[in-house]
């Protein structure tokens, strides 16, 4: 039930970092005023008066458009977008309950103050004391229930001057009131005017505004929003189908093609990603739109260029759209993969998670712990309601336990997340939870259980991501070899080497080849094109060792280490070469975040066992 508007009191509403002042038609975010259209303000005010209650779409529509007007769903959707844009970092608190209505998920505080009473000032008092009006107004402000009236002056001169002073007072008062009225009209015009171009966000992650979409069909915005909601909740296949149809039906907007390029790259399909990127460019040419030029430069860097190019392109887009949190997310992960963990932590710490429900943004909590701030990540997780998404909450709790090195607790959380993910068809979370649980089982030497976990993870994955699929095949191949099943190992290895051919990065093809050389040293291979200098040196060290050229192998390994291989995801490959070349084996660092190639967990376990067999201190046991 929405509380009626109180016309006898000034009321301010506060929630999270938001202050809503109906008397002044103003919204402040973390103390700073925000521009706000009238309809967006009305929606925010309405949700404040609901005090956290769920309002149906009919209730919201009737309140915003009184008088029985016919209002389209698109109109309400755009107002919701505008309101979320005004709320900025707290926009996610205004939640859409699909098929039901809207809810403001926050504790709403209400402040009441009596309206100010016009000060009662004697004209003679003003004449005799020019400061009397100011002093009286000040007193009135501090004690609104006790207006101050100046005492009359008994002098004849004062009494004779009273009529003239009264006339001057009325003239001044009307002048002040006229100026105040003009200012009020100007301010209300600003509030009631449409929001500045692009103020309403469609996807804050990429900084995509409603005005950027270039749509010609009335329902394009609504369907784009639906597709993005599906992807955020883990249903990328469903979202991709909708985006493909949108690309075919609305021939003016490049947005669906850009997202399909991004998602194809993320799933490991490089050529398909290039195709969609080309289609997006065709929709834009010729274009001088700076936002699209920067967004496409970022996507191109992800598909066709190296990590540093992606970091730079993401930074440029952030300069234009500072709330584009996915750019920070991308920069953080690439910095971590290059060994720049402090820089990665700085980037990831700029992203706030206010509620669960967006799978990519939710993992920011776990990544923050992985990159060094476990306590900060735990505080962020503790502020969130586990009941809002129990599966994701369990998964994140498992990741935080992993970062702490509490393997039993991590395994328990991952097992719980995998089970509940299956029940609600969250196959993305089920795959990752099973993979991480399997890695912990490997750590404990339970290879049979680990094999079952990895095979179950691959079933849940169902080929949707070539990178994860190849990584699972490499894990299973190594386990088959350890169990004395070389034929099965060859089959899995062949699968892993075929799968990542469409993958844009060097990581999985390179990992597959290194595993092949360890399991079957006679395996022939062609050096991958466009290797980084660091990875090229590691490849050359492997080739030299296979050829028996140990001096050259040591030299190439040293070059690779000088270039930073020890801080990369191929650090254990370098440690394995040190072991084989009779060199001191470098200390292992924890695999955290546990991202591909997760297949390196078996390699480091075998290195540890080899060191223990020679009475060498193997270091702490950890993934």
Inform me whether the pLDDT recorded for 166 exceeds 50: no
**What is the reported pLDDT for 241?**
95
- Sheet strands side by side (includes 101-104): 55-56, 101-104, 94-97
DSSP 3-state of 94: strand
Indicate the pLDDT class of residue 119, thresholds 50, 70 and 90. very low
| 163 — pLDDT class (breaks 50, 70, 90) | very low
β-strands 18-21, 9-15 pairing: antiparallel
pLDDT of residue 199: 52
Burial of 290 (0-12, 13-18, 19+ CB in 10 A): exposed
Omega prior to 286 cis, within 30 of 0: yes
127-141, 156-170, 174-188, 277-291: which is most confident: 277-291
CA 314 to chain centre: 14
CA gap 505, 597 in Å, rounded: 12
DSSP run (H or E) holding 206: none
Nearest by Cα to 320 from 459, 198, 196:
198
- CA–CA dist 406, 415 (Å, integer): 14
pLDDT at 173 exceeding the cut of 70: no
For 213-234, b/e burial (b = at least 16 CB within 10 A) is: bbbeeebbbebbbbbbebbbbb
418 has pLDDT over 80:
yes
Where in the sequence of the chain do the CATH 1.10.10.10 domains occur? 1-115
pLDDT at 532: 86
Gap between the Cα atoms of 22 and 7, Å rounded:
11
Q: Tell me what pLDDT residue 606 has.
A: 92
Task: Specify the range with the lowest mean pLDDT, choosing from 130-134, 212-216, 308-312, 534-538.
Answer: 130-134
User: What's the pLDDT at 619?
Assistant: 64
Inter-residue contact 95 to 217 (CB < 8 Å): no
Contact 517, 542 (CB under 8 A): yes
Q: Which of 66-75, 155-164, 592-601 has the lowest mean pLDDT?
A: 155-164
pTM score of the predicted model? 0.66
Complete DSSP assignment for 570-595: THHHHHHHHHHTTPPPPPP----S--
Beta bridge partners of 94: 104
Is residue 329 within 8 Å of 266, Cβ to Cβ?
A: no
Looking at the domain covering 200-351, what would its CATH class be?
A: mainly alpha
pLDDT score recorded for residue 531: 84
Give span(s): CATH 1.25.40, the chain: 200-351
Q: What stretches of 220-289 show up as alpha helix (H) in DSSP?
A: 220-232, 236-249, 255-266, 270-284
| Residues pairing with 209 in the sheet | 201
Is it the case that residue 439 has pLDDT exceeding 70?
yes
Q: How far is CA 244 from CA 191, 229, 232, 264, 602, in A?
A: 38, 15, 17, 12, 40
Nearest to 439 by CA among 333, 565, 589, 597: 597
Please report, for residues 239, 283, 322, 533, 576, the alpha-carbon distance to residue 206 in angstroms, rounded to integers and kept in the order given. 17, 19, 10, 31, 40
Most confident of 52-56, 139-143, 158-162: 52-56
pLDDT over 70 at 192, yes or no: no
Identify whether the C-beta of residue 297 lies closer than 8 Å to the C-beta of residue 316: yes
Mean pLDDT value of segment 406-425: 93
Taking 80 as the threshold, does the pLDDT of residue 110 lie above it?
Answer: yes
What string of H, E and C letters represents the secondary structure of 361-406? HHHHHHHHHHCCCHHHHHHHHHCCCHHHCHHHHHHHHHHHHHHHCC
What is the spatial distance between Cα 517 and Cα 348, in angstroms, rounded to a whole number? 36
Q: What is the predicted pLDDT for the residue at 150?
A: 36
Sign, Cα dihedral of 26, 31, 33, 39? negative
The C-alpha atoms of residue 475 and residue 437 are separated, in whole angstroms, by: 13
Measured between alpha carbons, how far is 370 from 505 in angstroms, rounded to an integer?
Answer: 22
**How many Å apart are CA 411 and CA 442, to the nearest integer?**
11
Contact between 302 and 311 under an 8 Å Cβ cutoff? The reply is: no
**pLDDT recorded at residue 357:** 85
* pLDDT score of 203: 92
Mean pLDDT of 503-517: 79
- Output 71 or 149, whichever has higher pLDDT: 71
Q: Percentage of residues in the chain with pLDDT exceeding 90?
A: 50
Percent with pLDDT over 70 in the chain: 81
Other C-beta atoms closer than 10 Å to the C-beta of 348 total: 29
Distance CA 511, CA 498 (A): 12
Summarize pLDDT for 454-470 with one digit per residue, the tens.
999 999 998 888 889 99
What are the DSSP E strand ranges found in 46-145?
A: 55-56, 94-97, 101-104, 109-114
What pLDDT sits at residue 605? 92
Each residue's pLDDT tens digit, 320-363: 998 899 999 999 988 888 878 889 999 999 999 988 888 889 99
In the chain, the largest separation of any two C-alpha atoms, in whole Å, equals 119
Query: Of 164-168, 284-288, 373-377, 547-551, which gets the smallest average pLDDT?
Result: 164-168
Q: How confident is the model at residue 175 (pLDDT cuts 50, 70, 90)?
A: low
User: At which residue do the structure tokens 């040591």 appear?
Assistant: 554
For residues 226 and 241, the answer to whether their CB atoms sit within 8 Å is: no
Task: List, for residues 8-45, the tens digit of each pLDDT value.
Answer: 346 899 999 999 998 888 899 988 888 888 888 999 99
Say how far apart CA 244 and CA 202 lie, in whole Å.
18
Contact between 517 and 495 under an 8 Å Cβ cutoff? The reply is: no
Show the 3-state SS of 543-558.
HHHHCCCHHHHHHHHH
Distance CA 169, CA 543 (A): 97
Q: What is the pLDDT of residue 3?
A: 61
Burial 547-573 (b: 16+ CB within 10 A, else e): eeeeeebbebbebbbebebbbbbbbbb
At residue 138, does pLDDT exceed 50?
A: no
Q: Measured on CA atoms in the order 475, 478, 483, 487, is the torsion positive or negative?
A: positive
Average pLDDT over residues 144-154: 36
Mean pLDDT, the chain, rounded, equals 82
Mean pLDDT, range 523-542, rounded to an integer: 87
Distance CA 584, CA 587 (A): 9
Instruction: Specify whether the CB–CB gap between 400 and 374 falls below 8 A.
Output: yes
pLDDT at 504: 40
What mean pLDDT comes out for the span 398-408? 95
Residue 455, pLDDT score: 96
CA distance 221 to 235: 19
Per-residue pLDDT reduced to its tens digit, 587-614: 988 899 898 899 999 999 999 999 988 8
Written out in words, the top-level CATH class of the domain with range 1-115 is mainly alpha
Q: What is the pLDDT of residue 104?
A: 92
Written as six digits, the tokens of 560 are 């690779």
Predicted local confidence at residue 157, as pLDDT: 42
- Residue 398's φ and ψ, nearest 5 degrees, are -65, -40
């Amino acid at each position: 039930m929405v509380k009626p508007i109180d016309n006898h009191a000034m009321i301010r509403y506060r929630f999270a970092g938001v202050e809503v002042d109906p008397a002044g038609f103003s919204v402040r975010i973390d103390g700073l005023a925000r521009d706000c259209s009238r309809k967006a303000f009305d929606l925010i005010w309405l949700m404040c008066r609901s005090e956290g209650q769920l309002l149906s779409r009919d209730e919201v529509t009737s309140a915003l458009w009184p008088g029985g007007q016919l209002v389209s769903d698109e109109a309400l959707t755009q107002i919701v977008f505008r309101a979320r844009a005004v709320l900025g970092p707290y926009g996610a608190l205004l939640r859409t309950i699909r098929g039901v209505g809207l809810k403001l998920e926050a504790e709403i505080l209400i402040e009441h103050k009596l309206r100010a009473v016009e000060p009662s000032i004697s004209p003679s008092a003003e004449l005799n004391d020019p400061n009397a009006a100011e002093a009286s107004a000040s007193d009135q402000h501090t004690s609104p229930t006790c207006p101050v009236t100046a005492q009359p002056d008994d002098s004849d001169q004062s009494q004779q001057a009273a009529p003239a002073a009264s006339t001057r007072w009325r003239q001044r008062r009307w002048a002040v009131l006229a100026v105040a009225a003009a200012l009020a009209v100007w301010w209300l015009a600003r509030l009631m005017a449409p929001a500045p171009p692009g103020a309403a966000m469609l996807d804050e992650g990429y900084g995509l505004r409603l005005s950027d979409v270039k749509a010609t069909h009335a329902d394009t915005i609504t369907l784009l929003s639906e597709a993005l909601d599906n992807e955020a909740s883990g249903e990328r296949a469903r979202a991709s189908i909708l985006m493909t149809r949108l690309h075919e039906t609305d021939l003016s907007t490049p947005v669906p093609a850009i997202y399909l390029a991004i998602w194809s790259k993320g799933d490991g399909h490089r050529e398909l990603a290039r195709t969609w990127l080309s289609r997006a460019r065709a929709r834009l040419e010729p274009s001088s739109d700076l936002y699209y030029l920067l967004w496409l430069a970022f996507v191109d860097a992800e598909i066709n260029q190296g990590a540093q190019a992606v970091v730079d392109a993401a930074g440029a887009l952030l300069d234009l759209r500072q709330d584009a949190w996915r750019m920070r997310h991308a920069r953080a992960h690439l910095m971590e993969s290059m060994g720049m963990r402090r820089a990665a932590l700085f980037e990831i710490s700029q992203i706030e998670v206010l509620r669960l429900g967006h799978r990519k943004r939710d993992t920011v909590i776990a990544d923050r712990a992985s990159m060094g701030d476990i306590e900060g990540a735990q505080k962020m997780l503790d502020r969130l309601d586990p009941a809002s998404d129990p599966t994701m909450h369990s998964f994140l709790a498992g990741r935080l336990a992993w970062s702490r090195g509490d393997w039993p607790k991590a395994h328990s959380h991952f097992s719980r997340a995998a089970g509940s993910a299956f029940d609600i068809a969250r196959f993305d979370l089920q795959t990752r939870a099973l993979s991480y649980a399997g890695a912990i089982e490997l750590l404990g030497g339970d290879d049979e259980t680990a094999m079952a976990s990895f095979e179950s993870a691959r079933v849940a994955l169902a080929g949707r991501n070539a990178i994860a699929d190849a990584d699972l095949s490499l894990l299973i191949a190594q386990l088959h070899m350890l169990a004395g099943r070389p034929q099965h190992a060859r089959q899995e290895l062949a699968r892993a080497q075929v799968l990542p051919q469409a993958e844009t990065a060097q990581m999985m093809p390179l990992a597959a080849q290194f595993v092949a050389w360890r399991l079957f040293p006679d395996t022939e291979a062609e050096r991958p094109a466009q290797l980084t200098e660091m990875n090229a040196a590691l490849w050359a060290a492997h080739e030299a060792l296979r050829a028996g050229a140990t001096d050259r192998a040591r030299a190439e390994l040293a070059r690779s280490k000088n270039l930073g291989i020890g801080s990369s995801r191929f650090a254990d490959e370098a440690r394995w070469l040190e072991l084989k070349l009779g060199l001191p084996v470098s200390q292992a660092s924890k695999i955290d975040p546990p991202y591909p190639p997760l297949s390196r967990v078996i390699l480091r376990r075998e290195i540890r066992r080899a060191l223990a067999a020679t009475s060498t201190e193997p270091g702490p046991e950890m993934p």
